[in-house]
Amino acid sequence: MKKGELIAEFAKRTEMSGAAANDAVNTIIEIITERLKKGDTVGITGFGTFSVTKRAARKGRNPATGEAIKIAASKTPRFSAGATLKAAVNPKKKKAA
């Protein structure tokens, strides 16, 4: 599902106009992004948690030349699925008798 499809589905389910749904989805994305930029964690109960993790500087190799390169330290966003989302994706199977 792409962002446009998500907006269309959101508009349909909430009976909002496409423009209002677009604004709502974009606002949610902006809020999450702003909070992550500040270093905060964003938890949505039953869905999951967005957070930022730090990657240490490390050595790597250029795959084209094999030359050793330095990879700078960086921050990366991370998402950890909540229990409800995990259960929805991996429903329990009934045991055979």
Range of the domain at 69: 41-91
- Looking at the structure, tell me whether residues 15 and 49 fall in a common domain: no
The enclosing domain of 48 has a CATH number of 4.10.520.10
Q: What H or E segment, with its residue span, contains residue 82?
A: none
> Can you give the pLDDT at residue 52?
97
> Can you give the pLDDT at residue 54?
95
> Can you give the pLDDT at residue 91?
85
- Looking at the structure, tell me whether residues 57 and 32 fall in a common domain: no
Instruction: Report the distance separating Cα 81 and Cα 48, nearest Å.
Output: 4
**33 lies in a domain?**
yes
- Looking at the structure, tell me whether residues 6 and 23 fall in a common domain: yes
Residue 70: beta bridge partners? 59
- Looking at the structure, tell me whether residues 10 and 32 fall in a common domain: yes
> Can you give the pLDDT at residue 92?
82
Whether 70 contacts 59, CB under 8 Å: yes
**97 lies in a domain?**
no
Instruction: Report the distance separating Cα 79 and Cα 42, nearest Å.
Output: 9
**69 lies in a domain?**
yes
- The structure's pTM equals 0.78
Tokens representing 45 are 């109960």
pLDDT in tens, the chain (97 residues): 999 999 999 999 999 999 999 999 999 999 999 999 999 999 999 999 999 999 999 999 999 999 999 999 999 999 999 999 999 999 887 666 5
Residue 76: beta bridge partners? 53
Whether 30 contacts 38, CB under 8 Å: no
Tally the domains of the chain.
2
Q: What H or E segment, with its residue span, contains residue 7?
A: helix 3-14
